[in-house]
Structure 1
Amino acid sequence: MAEDKPRLLIVEDDEGLQAQLKWAYEDFDVTIAGDRASALAALRAEEPAVVTLDLGLPPDPDGTTEGFAILDAILSLKPDTKVIVASGHGARESALHAIQRGAYDFYQKPIDIEALGLIVRRAFNLHQLESENARLASKSDEGETVLGGLITAAPEMVKVARTIERVANTSISVMLLGASGTGKELLARGVHDSSDRKGGAFVAINCAAIPENLLEAELFGHEKGAFTGAVKTTEGKIELADGGTLFLDEVGDIPLPLQVKLLRFLQERTIERIGGRKSISVDTRIVCATHQNLEEMIADGRFREDLFYRLAEIVVKIPTLAERPGDATLLAKAFLKRFAAEMNPQVKGLASDALAAIDAWPWPGNVRELENRLKRAVIMADGKLIHAEDLDLEAGDEEDALPLNIKAAREEADRKVIRHALARSEGNISNTARLLGISRPTLYDLLKQYDLQS
């Protein structure tokens, strides 16, 4: 039945071409519109996923002004719509202008039905995957994704999550290795929340943020009168984590003398507070993290090898945001939704130039940088959409990252979509092919063509 078919809106004033296109796309639920008013009415009523738009429409059939006005209106009303613009008027300039305004793709007239059909089907596939992403983000807000708040479509990060889920219910120590801002504390909480210790406390301490002369007291606690200013007995972080999990962030910054005392605790599972004489038994799971190269520090004598092996019974390497294809956009949408609800409800989404800039930026500060940019943009935004300039990402950033040509751009997009689908399906070929709307043999051919692993 028509209502079960994907919805396609064709905006075209040539009646002969209208009939031809409607006949050619019988696999879709097609609606025809010949002007701006009927196009926007159909958009509101049908909410099509994909629109083909002729730029030369009345009252400017020989130009492009009316077509671009409709493009702007469609993306303003329904930003996730994939608009494929077709025109014979100044094709190159029109194509660039359309893409800059947020069109999904451009096709030059005269129309080749078969070629345009491929673009339309690719647009539907992408829209379907983006809808899956939106559902994932929605579920993460409800605490239904793996490891609580983890949002990802990248196979690299899914692998990390699966590893953590497997080791969570053991007692072994976990070491998280990754650059600053990659979400090490979030993953450490994931270890705790996925374990049988989740009823206990999760206690975190940043070893690099505490002066060396105070770090020992923070970790092991102290008795009253142990030193100047010790006016009462205080439990340390290790003791507070009894029955739960202790997260040692930036463990590479622990000084050597304190490394000896930490190693003794890991061997004996007892501590003595500073100034105390009594041994206190503590049952806590250790998770640690660092951005430093501990093997180099061991070679230089700055980190004890025996402590490393006690802490690193399982090592999990966390990819940077740049190594997680597609995740920057996913995370940006999730951050925007959260910050807008908290601080600026008028903000509804990300403009196309912002999405392009987010995808092109290398994110040297990783997820933390992305989160901070989104928070600032939401607070300062004047309109409903966040633009690249609101994120302090200029046009030059995205232009530098553009592929060589349109063929390369489409191949890059195909790779990204396939990897997202593989992540969604956890590598299952049949489910991945279904998500992409292609056959298993076609998917195998694409995996081989693009050198992608399932």
Structure 2
Amino acid sequence: MENARILIADDDKKTRDFVAAFLSYKGYHVFQASDGQDALEKIELNDVHLVITDLMMPRINGLEFIKKLKAMRPEIVTIAYSAFANSEMTANLLKAGAFFYLEKPFNLEELETHVKRGLEHQALQNQSFRTKPCIKNRSLLNNIIGESEKMLSLFEFIEKVADSDSTVLLQGESGTGKELVARAIHDLSNRRTKNFVPVNCAAIPDDLLESELFGHVKGSFTGAIATRIGRFELADKGTLFLDEIGDMKPSLQVKLLRVLQNKELEPVGSTHTKKVDVRIITATNQNLEKLVVTKEFREDLYYRISVIPIVLPPLKDRKGDIPLLINSFLEKFNKDKQHKVKGLDKSSLEILCTYEWPGNVRELENLIERLVILKGSGIITVSDLPEKYRGIKTSMVQEPLSLPDNGFCLNSAVEEFENQLILQALHKTGGNKKEAAMLLNLKRTTLIEKLKKKKLFFAGSPLANS
């Protein structure tokens, strides 16, 4: 393989220099690292095809290094060597993803043979990775779990837009991880050393949101007993994340637009403006384009905040990531709760991988936390799952309708059918009445009237927009 790049990781400089000199003589481009941690840092910065590593190294040993490398860059081929390994260690190395293991002292010609084979293997293996996006700073995206094509494309796009100061609009269903993406953009940007300030526009009353964003001076309104800076000033030179931007009232949208245009703000009750340098990231689970058409959201503000739109995929569109998410949440909650739940059996995992997840990753996380608390230890089985998850397989198969010989009440049947559709719409939207009404092609007020008249109650997560 022409121009192959090889990294040698060994804390013994003599061995490292000796192997490097031989491979350089053979025409390879060689990098050196003094231990596993140093090697990972160099791989972050360089395009490496093959790694040769010693096992006994400080900070990160060879086995842990290979595990971390395979998680970060699975296409890189690794050859390990040591004078102290045994059959168990060799088996663990191969299981971790090592291509070959050599015992020290080894013959350099033998090493070159395995290097050539490793590079041939890498070239063939690379064909399956060629279409996958290249993500250079994966370590800064560790809080976002996913290996599906949709998520890898998302990671690549995040890296591309991070260093820009352009506004970003994150769109996606509730529970898809919009704040995690906003934080990742901040952490990858040149503003990473300054504040990341999140604000949930829907969680703060309208009459307080202006003061929360722009600050106020003492005596500007009842209760303003002291001058207070707002979130914009807290985020100066950093990033301000405005979640649920679609719920912002029109009068406040005008003031936000002015800040975006002029990069200056006026605290409540003040006659003086202040300059601010803030990168704005917004998020919503609503269709802002529809809100623009209905005049509920300003068109000029929409174009200002959506210079770079990013749509986050719902969990139902990346079900291959569900086992990864489950393992991550099990590890997290076992540690937090000091429990020892080992995992899920095959049947329960199949059920969760088939479920549609209207609440997305947040719903899955809440379910795993509940299961860890209730199970305590051992393996989670189907009987441990809440009823709504256990019933998924049978509920997907509908029985054919048949008219009884003695007839039945059509009005009652129609009403029951309507009730089921309303509850399903609420279930799909996590209890959000506005979104449920859109699914049913109803006005929100009409849906609320039907819920009151029918005395229907959604017993899922707390209802939004109540």
Query: How far does residue 392 in structure 1 lie from its aligned partner after superposition?
Result: 1.3
1:149 to 127, 140, 143: 143
Match of 2:369 in 1: 375
Query: Any idea what SS the aligned residue of 1:273 has?
Result: coil
2:158 equivalent to 1:164? yes
Q: Any idea what the Cα deviations from partners look like across 1:326-346, whole Å, max 9, x if unmatched?
A: 112210110011100110332
Which residue of structure 2 lines up, in the alignment, with residue 352 of structure 1? Answer: 346
Inter-partner Cα distance in structure 1 for 2:142 and 2:342: 24
Equivalent AA in structure 2 for residue 397 of structure 1: I
CA contact (8 A) 1:146 1:161 kept: no
Residues 340 and 314 from structure 1, CA distance in 2 versus in 1: closer, same or farther, beyond 3 angstroms? same
1:271 touches 1:281 (CA, 8 Å); kept in 2? yes
What are the ranges of 5 or more consecutive residues in structure 2 without an aligned counterpart?
Answer: 1-90, 96-136, 398-466
Partner in structure 2 of residue 277 of structure 1: 271
1:239 match: secondary structure: helix
Q: Measure how far apart 1:369 and its partner are.
A: 0.2
Q: What is the aligned counterpart of 2:204 among 199, 205, 210?
A: 210
Q: Does 1:397 align with 2:397?
A: no
Counterpart position of 1:263: 257
Residue 233 of structure 1 pairs with residue 227 of structure 2: yes
- Going from structure 1 to structure 2, the CA distance change for 1:312 and 1:340 (only over 3 Å counts) comes to same
2:121 maps to none
Contact 1:340 1:346 in 2 (8 A): yes
Partner-residue secondary structure (3-state), 1:327? helix
Q: Equivalents in 1 of 2:255, 2:302: separation in Å?
A: 13
What amino acid is aligned across from residue 286 of structure 1 in structure 2? I
Whole-Å separation in 1 of the counterparts to 2:173 and 2:283: 10
**What is the Cα deviation at residue 399 of structure 1?**
5.5
- Report the counterpart of residue 286 of structure 2 in structure 1: 292
Distance 1:218 1:384 in 2: 47
SS in 2 for 1:334: helix
SS of the equivalent of 1:175 reads strand
What number of residue pairs does the alignment pair up? Answer: 267
Preserved contact between residue 339 and residue 372 of structure 2 (Cα < 8 Å)? no
One-letter code of the match for 1:326? G
Q: Report 1:178-197 matches (<5 A).
A: 178-197=172-191
Structure 1 residue 398, shift from structure 2 partner: 4.0
Q: Which runs of no fewer than 5 residues in structure 1 stay unpaired?
A: 1-45, 51-142, 403-454
Q: Deviations over 1:41-72 (max 9, x none)?
A: xxxxx99x99xxxxxxxxxxxxxxxxxxxxxx
CA distance in 2, matches of 1:389, 1:176: 38
User: Bigger CA drift: 293-302 or 340-349?
Assistant: 340-349
Identity of aligned residues (%): 46
Computed over aligned residues only, the root mean square deviation of the Cα atoms, in angstroms, reads: 2.5
Report the Cα offset of residue 401 of structure 1: 6.5
Q: Which amino acid is the alignment partner of residue 320 of structure 2?
A: G
**2:216 is aligned with 1:222:** yes
- Residue by residue over 1:1-39, the C-alpha shift from the partner in whole angstroms, topping out at 9 and shown as x without a partner, is xxxxxxxxxxxxxxxxxxxxxxxxxxxxxxxxxxxxxxx
Separation in structure 2 between the aligned mates of residue 401 and residue 256 of structure 1, nearest angstrom: 43
Q: What is residue 125 of structure 1 aligned with on the other side?
A: none
Q: Take 1:310 and 1:166, find their aligned partners in 2: how far apart are those partners?
A: 19
Partner of 1:303: 297
SS in 1 for 2:341: coil
Q: Distance in 1 between matches of 2:281 and 2:162?
A: 10
How many angstroms apart in 1 are the aligned matches of 2:140 and 2:318?
Answer: 17
Does the aligned pair in 2 maintain the 1:177–1:290 contact within 8 Å?
yes
* In 2: Cα distance, 1:230 partner to 1:165 partner: 42
TM-score computed with the length of structure 1 as normaliser: 0.56
2:415 corresponds in structure 1 to: none
* Aligned 8 A contact 1:288 1:311 in 2: yes
Partner amino acid, structure 1, of 2:353: D
Residue 383 of structure 1: how far off its partner (Å): 3.4
Contact 1:249 1:288 (8 Å CA) reproduced? yes
Query: The residue matched to 2:340 in structure 1 has which SS?
Result: coil
Letter aligned with residue 396 of structure 1? G
The structural deviation recorded for 1:156 is: 1.1
- Structure 2 partner of 1:332: 326
Any conservation in 2 of the 1:344–1:378 contact (CA below 8 Å)?
A: no
Q: Deviations over 1:108-163 (max 9, x none)?
A: xxxxxxxxxxxxxxxxxxxxxxxxxxxxxxxxxxx954523111121112111211
Q: Distance in 1 between matches of 2:357 and 2:288?
A: 24
Query: What residue number does 1:136 align with?
Result: none
Task: State the Cα distance separating 1:278 from its structure 2 match.
Answer: 1.7
1:322–1:362 Cα contact (<8 Å) kept: yes
Alignment partner, residue 245 of structure 1: 239
Q: Which shows bigger deviation, 379-388 or 338-347?
A: 379-388
